[in-house]
Structure 1
Amino acid sequence: MFHSPTPALTPDPDDIPVNPSTQPWLDRVAANRRQLLKGSLGLALGSFLGSSLGGCSGGGLPSNPGRRASPVIGFQSVPLQLAEDFDRVVVAEGYEAKPFFSWGDPVVDGAVAWRADGQNTWQEQQLQAGQNHDGMAFFPFADAPNDHGLLVINHEYTNDTLHPQGPTLTRSADGRLLRPADEVRKEQMAHGVSVIEIRRDARGEWQRIFPSRYNRRLTMHTPMQLTGPVAGTEWVKTRDDPTGLQVLGTLNNCSMGKTPWGTYLVCEENWHNYFVNRNTQDWQARTSHRRHGIATGAHSSKYCWESVDPRFDATPHPDEPHQGYVNEPHRFGWVVEFDPFDPLAIPQKRTALGRYARECATLSLAQDGRVAIYSGDDTRGEYIYKFVTEAAYQPAQPLTNRQLLDNGTLYVARFNEDGSGDWLPLVQGQGGLTVRNGFFTQADVLVNTRAAADILGATPMDRPEWVAVDPHSREVYVTLTNNIERGIKTDQPLNAANPRCENHHGQILRWREQGDNPTAIQFTWEIFLLAGKTDSPEVPHNERGTIIGDVFSSPDGLWFDADGRLWIETDFDDGEEPYTRMGTNQLLCANTDTREVKRFLVGPRGCEITGLTATPDGKTLWLNIQHPGLSYPASDGKTRPRSTTVVVTKRDGGVIGS
């Protein structure tokens, strides 16, 4: 069994709350922690949820007469896997799940094979699949949409397994952590995106096509353009880019989006982990750094890239042009758009959509042709956003659509206690986003999206992650993965949408836009389910769920298939309390009418299940096994583990889930 060395880098700052908001409305819904922990779960939740709790057993949102009948979920549930040495994927009976594309596999022409000893160089890594596969999408070729296409896969971050013996760290004379240049470059090349051409062969087996003119890697060294209101402003100018128009690379690419005009949307999530501003006084005064929790003082960034690559040291240098790299963090946290079918296309960072730790960019098309894009800000106590384009999608004018995301209105959600909701516009000059509060231009609002949302009184959520839109009803679902500080920290009191103290297991919310219009500014919402254990005396009240069917914890990935089945992926620390009886991470399927949940697949110990996409006919499904902890996909007990894309098919050739 390969064991990753004990991490020597600074503690992982992911999901550390940095929201200082103490909006008055939060005080009105603050609750007594002991009441929730000692009292009845039903009584405690009832005071917050009202009709929403009833919704967990079939009530809730008003009926939608346009919705089609519930799709069949025809497979038998897979049992939990509790063994400490469990190192494989198990899928429902009647299906096959095969490793398809792993970290280190060749992508670009000239790539060499992956080395199990971790000795591939950074030059080799830039031509291979990156680490930690996450969000992805299938782009079919028109002539054979179910048998031929491009698979686009995000690579979120790197593990110690990237290097033969883990990362190498030393200390300078003044105590700063230092990294070898080749290790940093290899990590930068293992971030980004892979585009691979794939085809089903005569036997019905999916194969990667290599070489292919479509195959491409985006890394931390790929040139990209800034577009929209922030492009070219003082916010994004640096010593190397005095124009504020070109950025090198994209990183921490978690979930994603896919547009009807054929482009892929890459989301930059925990980009703050890669930067440091050592001037604590400047950091404290600079909301754009402090509000995101960029490292400061004597600390290093999580990866210590700044010891090799100066653009990750955002400490201001007044004697240099644009103070050196103080603005480099402002060039990340955006949505990156590119065309997978054009390998020469320069990716565009669309700044009109705002800057934060974005988990996804899920689209919904309104009847008037305008596009709504939903996103979660994946940190404890952060917000849910929606961007609405100014212009309408033009199916007959594909090139015109490439500018749609540069103009529109960004909103943040407020979930009211009575089950209603409001989309609050993040527009300079409105709702307190004024010169008096430091917002002189729309670029100020977009760079400091979190701070602007604070002023408007948005609802702090329990780590909002993936958003999915029902293709038939247009109802919107979001996963709130967990928040162990909810009701404990004074800045994170309970509220109607986030009702559990020390929320270990998370919940899924759903809402309906007014008039079923994705561009509406009001909505009604309910809690679709509370994840967690079954309701029994030995389970603490705050860990009991309302799941009808197979239990799970920490919902993360969320995706609808074409028939309307809701697929749920999980991400919790298997083997650790309070998850010891929850098994390994899993893929489940829910009927959104009956709320029944069935477990379809379980992954190897230590992994996260993430990324879902399918062929148009629904007969092939791809998902990702991220950071497996043992030796997957070799599953031999000794080989270095590799993040892997898995292809799932039904043995009878039918639709997945049917």
Structure 2
Amino acid sequence: MMKKINRRGFIKGSAGIGGLGMFAGSLTGCSSYPKLEFSEIPHALDQQHHVAPNHNAQVLLRWGDDLFSDKEFDPSRITAPQQAESFGFNNDFIGFMPLEDEDLSASENYNSGNSERGLLCINHEYTLPHLMFPGFSDEEDGIANANREQTEVEMQACGHSVVEVELRGDEWRVNKRSDYTRRITLDTPCEITGPAAGHPRLQTMADPSGKKVLGTVGNCAGGKTPWGTVLIAEEGFGGFFMGNRDTLSEQEKDNFERLSIGGEDSRRWGKTASRFHIEWEPNEANRFGWMLEFDPYDPTSTPKKLTTLGRFEHEGTTIVAKPGEPIAAYTGDDDEFQFIYKYVSHEEYKPEAEHLNRSLLQEGVLYVAKFNEDGSGEWLPLVHGQGALTEHQGFVSQADVLIECRRAAQLIGATPMDRPEDIETNPVNDCTYVMLTKNKKRKKSDVANMRPKNTAGHILEILHPGVDGKRDHSSQTFQWNTFALGGHPNSNKINDRGFYGTGPKGETVSENGWFACPDNLAFDPKGNMWVATDGCEAFQCHDGLWAMPTAGPYRAIPKHFFGCPQGAELCGPEFTPDGSTLFVAVQHPADVEGSSYDKPAHRWPDYDESLPPRPSVMAIRHKDGKMVGEA
């Protein structure tokens, strides 16, 4: 058996290429997993999407599809009211919520395991006016010069869509007469809950109570709960606000600078809606940057912003819920040198108590991760009055701690990371995996971020006390490993060089199996990890989806399953409970230099001269009805 190299030695550069390979490939694993049997696709970079042999990829939903009728999409005439009833732009997170019977409760439907009918709950992260409307030369031009009518369409194109889908034969169909169909946009009333609700820093002229806000934006990844609700993130919200930060108090100026709120590069939405102008309504921005929870099985339900989970650029939040134990909720702050968080509820999860479970995300403790050189880690509590989180530092209450999570985490000594994005717990081995996309700004490596100028990203594995399937996610301590380093295994640049696993006969990653810039992930019913990427085009190949076991002889040896069309990233991979369908979101196709609505690099997925490229959701199935990923 290979010896595991010392982290300190790695960081100091004493390990050679072989040592790096051992570090990635000989990590301890939980359980035993078979080798994935599908045939890989090659790396490519063209106008098409590509999927592994014996699988079909069906385009299910496109930007602009009317969700209530069969009306044809006409991008040249789209209005804000039309967009409000149509599928939004730049689809990201996908949550499949099984639907068994309208008379069942949300938790009963969710836990029914129905894999042939359900609600697709899909985030719409942001807009690209130069690919949505004619007349703009590039993204900068579109963001700076979109007019009022176009901005109003953009506002309705963000947010979230709930769509009922059903498997008919071997294809999925959208039910446009469903009572569950819903759009959540910047016009949707939301409730603010938790310690920051009602705080003066959240009070505005439109809402003196500080407890109500219209809508959500910057919706990247998300999560699901076993009591049948959906969690949606507010990630890159800062760029939607315009104005001069110098008009603010010193504390608020620092708060806004940390989240890139306002400034010269922001959008001009404040000209259309004054609440997006920080000089006119400075507190509005503090009402964004939270996680939201809503019930997709009740189309009249009011989304709730959960201030207990903190305010920052949430990539998403995923839940670990075990009967009779507190729940844990993992979330990453998607920016360079930001942090990994975990929330633990005060009360225990009780599967039979759906009503009580809905309060689990409103009362608990938020922690932030510190990684130690010996492979151990600590969850540091973000609690007002403890350590540096005092009035002397500007934290008058717990609300201030949650509003300024980034500053609070830095003050108490959390480990700054290389863009922590999706964080998921494998349901088979109970280990938790963190996608760290990249960080070109890093000048010096550290124990958990092993490469300066980390261009290709990496994946960490967190193991809480316990054994496979019985780990204590409420623990304030953990062990950790570097699971894989993204990049080409034979790159002559150390910061681009990937390191993966090694099989029992010396097998390693193939020429097509390596990836860069891991972003989102999902686990199939067997516990295999499926990694979606955002940044492979910097390595001259498409972004897409790679799969690999997390334990056993083929641990950390990825295989290439799906490739995006040029300019697109892959988001939101989501399996049906039985693993027979994999839903994926192809975001911002044709978003490359020189591409615009008038002269797009390509017109995926329609290839129609009257239509621009359109972000779309796809449903992938095996041609023989097997689980996705089988031969």
What is the TM-score with the length of structure 2 in the denominator? 0.88
2:479 alignment counterpart:
524
Match among 73, 77, 82 for residue 114 of structure 1: 73
The 8 Å contact of residues 111 and 127 in structure 1, kept in 2 or not, is answered as: no
1:301-342 per-position Cα deviation (integer Å, ceiling 9, x unaligned): 522101111001112xxxxxxxx5211111011111001110
Percent identity for Structure 1 against Structure 2: 36
- 1:572 maps onto 2:572 in alignment: no
Match for residue 229 of structure 2?
263
Question: Structure 1 residues 234, 283: CA separation in 2 closer, same or farther (over 3 Å shift)?
Answer: closer
**1:228 aligns to 2:189 (yes or no):** no
Q: 2:133 aligns with which of 163, 172, 184?
A: 163
Deviations 1:251-275 (A, max 9, x none): 1100000000000000000111111
Looking at structure 2, the residues matched to 651 and 177 of structure 1 have their Cα atoms a distance apart, in angstroms, of 46
> How far, CA to CA, are the matches of 1:354 and 1:260 in structure 2?
21
**TM-aligned CA distance change 1:30 to 1:414, over 3 Å:** farther
What does residue range 126-145 of structure 1 map to in structure 2 within 5 Å? 126-142=84-100, 145=114
User: 1:596 aligns to what SS in structure 2?
Assistant: coil
Letter in 1 for 2:561: F
Residues 1:152 and 2:107 are matched in the alignment: no
In the alignment, which residue of structure 2 is the partner of 1:616? 577
C-alpha offsets along residues 494-551 of structure 1, whole Å, 9 cap, x if unaligned? Answer: 1011111211100001110123211110000010010101225xx2122111034111
Structure-2 residue corresponding to 1:423: 379
Match in the other structure for 2:550: 592
Distance 2:562 2:245 in 1: 48
Alignment match of 1:305 (pick from 238, 258, 269): 269
2:83 pairs with one of 125, 137, 140: 125
Cα distance in 2 for residues equivalent to 1:595 and 1:283: 49
Structure 1 residues 249 and 384 mapped into 2: Cα distance closer, same or farther (>3 Å)?
same
Distance 1:640 1:124 in 2: 17
Task: Find the partner of 2:304 among 314, 329, 348.
Answer: 348
Task: Give, in whole Å, the separation in 2 of the partners of 1:638 and 1:422.
Answer: 55
TM-fit CA distance, 1:400: 1.6
Distance in 2 between the 1:475 and 1:637 partners?
48
For the residue of structure 1 that corresponds to 2:81, the secondary structure is helix
The corresponding residue for 2:625 is 653
Q: Does 1:57 align with 2:13?
A: no
The answer to whether structure 1 residue 496 and structure 2 residue 447 are counterparts is yes
Match of 2:595 in 1: none
Structure-1 separation of matches of 2:464 and 2:609: 50
Residue 446 of structure 1: CA displacement? 0.3
* Residue 610 of structure 1, CA deviation: 0.8
Match of 1:392 in 2: 348
Which residue identity does 1:89 align to in structure 2? H
Contact 1:177 1:307 in 2 (8 A): no
Contact map agreement 2:69 2:176 (CA 8 A) in 1: no
Task: Work out the CA distance in 1 between the residues paired with 2:161 and 2:231.
Answer: 13
**How far, CA to CA, are the matches of 1:303 and 1:604 in structure 2?**
27
Preserved contact between residue 132 and residue 612 of structure 2 (Cα < 8 Å): no
Report if aligned partners of 2:323, 2:350 keep a CA contact under 8 Å in 1: no
Residue 382 of structure 1 aligns with which residue?
Answer: 338
Report the 3-state secondary structure (helix = DSSP H, G, I; strand = E; otherwise coil) of the residue aligned with 2:439: coil
Whole-angstrom CA distance in 2 between matches of 1:179 and 1:207: 35
Task: Tell me how far apart the structure 2 counterparts of residues 169 and 494 of structure 1 sit (CA, whole Å).
Answer: 33
CA distance in 2, matches of 1:100, 1:207: 7
Q: CA deviation at 1:644?
A: 0.5
1:178 deviation in Å? 6.3
Matched, 1:280 2:240: no
Closer/same/farther in 2, CA of residues 377 and 169 from structure 1, 3 Å limit: closer
Equivalents in 2 of 1:262, 1:293: separation in Å?
34
- Deviation of 1:434 after TM superposition, in Å, equals 1.1
How far does the alpha carbon of each residue in 1:10-69 deviate from its partner, in whole angstroms, 9 at most, with x for none?
xxxxxxxxxxxxxxxxxx99999xx86xx87549x87xxxxxx7441223x4x65xx3x3
Q: Deviations over 1:419-440 (max 9, x none)?
A: 1100000000112111221112
Q: Which residue of structure 2 aligns with residue 91 of structure 1? A: 51
Between the aligned partners of 1:126 and 1:268, the Cα distance in structure 2 is 19
Q: Which residue of 2 aligns with 1:20?
A: none
Question: 5 Å matches for 1:68-87?
Answer: 69-82=32-45, 86-87=46-47
Distance 1:177 1:657, change over 3 A: closer
Query: What's the Cα RMSD here?
Result: 2.5
CA distance in 1, matches of 2:245, 2:534: 35
Structure 2 Cα separation of the partners of residues 197 and 612 of structure 1: 18
Letter in 2 for 1:396: E
> 1:543 & 1:54 partners in 2: Cα distance?
17
Deviation at 1:281, TM superposition (A): 5.4
Residue pair 1:565, 1:591 contacting (<8 A) in 2 also? yes
Tell me the equivalent position of 1:448.
Answer: 404
Is the Cα contact below 8 Å between 2:242 and 2:269 reproduced in 1? no
1:182 correspondence with 2:149: yes
Which residue does 2:170 correspond to in 1? 204
| Distance in 2 of aligned mates of 1:343 and 1:384 | 32
Q: Secondary structure at the match of 1:311?
A: helix
Distance in 2, Cα, partners of 1:281 & 1:433: 26
- Count matched residues: 582
Query: Is the CA contact 2:323–2:348 (under 8 Å) kept in the aligned structure 1?
Result: no
Give CA-to-partner distance per residue, 1:181-234, whole Å, 9 cap, x none.
211111000000010011122x33211001211100001111100011111111
Indicate yes or no: 2:563 matched with 1:563.
no
Mapped contact 2:63–2:87 kept (Cα < 8 A): yes
Amino acid across the alignment from 1:149:
G
Separation in 1 of the partners of 2:33 and 2:615?
A: 34
Residue identity in the other structure for 1:407: E
Unaligned ranges ≥5, structure 1? 1-27, 47-52, 316-323, 488-492
Residue range with higher mean Cα deviation, 276-285 or 498-507: 276-285
Distance 2:484 2:127 in 1: 33
In structure 2, stretches of 5+ residues that fail to align are 1-6, 102-111, 501-507, 591-601
Judge conservation of contact 2:245–2:256 (CA < 8 Å) in 1: no
3-state SS in 1 of match to 2:179: coil
- CA change 1:595–1:237 in 2 (3 A) is same
Counterparts of 1:465 and 1:369, CA distance in 2 = 26
Q: d(CA) in 2 for partners of 1:128 and 1:518?
A: 40
SS of corresponding position for 1:185: helix
What's the secondary structure of 1:405's corresponding residue? coil
Q: Distance in 2 between matches of 1:570 and 1:284?
A: 38
Partner residue, 2:614: 642
Contact 1:631 1:638 (8 Å CA) reproduced: no
SS at the partner of 1:375?
Answer: strand
- Distance in 1 (CA, whole Å) between partners of 2:523 and 2:118 is 20
Any conservation in 1 of the 2:144–2:267 contact (CA below 8 Å)? no
State the alpha-carbon separation in 1 of the partners of residues 146 and 90 from structure 2: 21
Counterpart Cα distance in 1 of 2:619 and 2:439: 32
CA 355–341 in structure 1, closer or farther in 2 if over 3 Å, else same: same
Structure 2: how far apart are the matches of 1:177 and 1:87? 28
Q: Does the 8 Å contact 2:581/2:621 carry over to 1?
A: yes
